Amino acid sequence: MKKKIFSMHVDVDDFIPATEEEKAYMVQMRPSTTFFKDGMKRLMKNKIAATSMFLIIIITLSSILIPFFWPYKYDKMLGNTPGKPMDSSYNNLAPFQYGETEQKRIANGEKVFPHIFGTDAQGRDYFIRVVYGTRISLAVGFFASIIVLIIGLTVGSISGYIGGKVDIIIMRIVDIIYSLPDTLMVILLASVMKVSLGALLEGTILEKLGTNMVSLFLVFGLLYWVSMARLIRGQILSLREQEYVLAAQATGAKAGWIIRKHLLPNCISVVIISTALQIPSAIFTESYLSFLGLGVNAPMPSLGSLASDALNGINSYAYRLIIPAVVISLIVLSLNLFGDGLRDAFDPKLKN
């Protein structure tokens, strides 16, 4: 039967129930994957990245958990018991050696937990110091990246979305900060803030962190956000022109809403990747500053300050240098490789 184009005639064939064969077309062969699942699958296929992730998780978990059940404290000088003279037999113990009182206890049949890496020059258990130092270095890297992320995200998205004069001014500031030699500025700021922050922090929670730590975070917040801001701005600039943004604007959505609900979720993979790559560089910088004596405050250890302290006894106690050196290189290496893997897995534009 010939159908007239403009008639209201309905084709009855359209209403015949589907046959089994036709139904089979509609069956989902496998559940649809989300962007996240797809990326994770690709990440896990990448052996190097998966191994690095595994390593990072193990190092992080052990640096958090070990101090809870380890019998020694990172700042406890073992030869120092209240009311008694200093027992120097605890200083500079080689791995798996014991101090005098401990040897007596062993002779009495007691069990004494071994000093796996020995003790340092002040009789502190070196293993727990390395663990604690790892914890501090990781924490600094993580929080510094979060600070960078928050500032970079805010400034970058505002600059990219609003555009115009605001964008030009922000980008000129970014240009200047970007061309500042960062490490030199970090050293300058850290060395001065170390002195000037003390009075400001007195009595606040931040005092416990130590002036060096606070100045470190401040410096990161002041200097390192620029590349993140540039990146986000670029993303927002290209996303801003998409139709769904126009649709949202047409329905009366406010700028903040559009940025938060439409633009940022779409550049989330870029953000995660560059944050992941920011962590090792923050750890790098922290250890560098600690090595120069501008990092964490004593007696708190960080991997950099442990390596720097070990430099004095390098002739007799070389392992004390090698241990933190290996740990720090391992952390930075695996974070870098993991970040590369993340980029390959989650950045669809780089997919080959």
Partner 1 sequence: MNTKTLMYILKRIALAILTVWVVITVTFFVTRAVPGGPFMSEKAISKEAQAALEAKYGLDKPVMEQYFTYLKDVVTKLDFGPSLKLRGRMVMDVIADGMKTSVKLGLIAAFLALALGIVLGSVAALRRNTLLDKGIMVVATAFVSMPSFIMGTLLLLLFAVHWPIFPANGSTAEGLVLPIITLSLYPMAYITRLTRSSMLDVLGQDYIRTARAKGVAPLKIIFGHALKNSLIPVITYFGPMLAYIVTGSLVVEQIFAVPGIGRAFVSSITNRDYPLIMGTTIVLACLIVIMNLVSDILYKVVDPRITLE
Q: How far is the CB of 260 from partner 1 (least distance, A)?
A: 29
Bridge partners, 125 (sequence order):
119
Q: Report how far residue 32's alpha carbon sits from residue 15's, in angstroms, rounded to the nearest whole number.
A: 29
Of 166, 176, 160, 126, the C-alpha closest to 301 is: 126
Of 119 and 334, which CB lies nearer to partner 1 in the complex structure?
334
Give the residue with the Cβ less far from partner 1, 299 or 313.
313
Nearer CB in complex with partner 1: 64/189: 189
Nearer of residues 154 and 336 to partner 1, judged by Cβ: 336
- To 5 degrees, how large is the angle CA 303–CA 304–CA 309? 100
CB 234 within 8 A of CB 271: no
Q: Is the peptide bond before 299 cis (omega within 30 degrees of 0)?
A: yes
- Shortest Cβ 237–partner 1 spacing (Å): 13
- In whole angstroms, the minimum distance from the beta carbon of 335 to partner 1 comes to 9
In the complex, least distance from residue 325 CB atom to partner 1, rounded to whole angstroms: 4
* 232 alpha carbon, distance to own chain's centre: 18
Shortest CB 141 distance to partner 1, Å: 13
CB of 168 to partner 1, least distance (A): 13
Task: Return residues touching partner 1 (CB under 8 A).
Answer: 175-176, 179-181, 183-185, 187-189, 191-192, 195-196, 199, 280, 284, 287-288, 291-294, 304, 307-308, 310-311, 314-315, 318, 321-322, 325, 328-329, 332-333, 336-337
Cα separation of 79 and 177, whole Å? 49
Structure tokens at 32: 């649809």
**Residue closer to partner 1 (CB basis): 86 or 192:** 192
Q: Are 348 and 42 in contact (CB under 8 A)?
A: no
Q: Tell me whether residue 78 or residue 342 sits nearer to partner 1 (CB atom).
A: 342
Q: Write down the residue that tokens 């930075």 correspond to.
A: 332
**Residue 322 to residue 126: CA distance in whole angstroms:** 12
Query: Token pair for residue 271?
Result: 């953000």
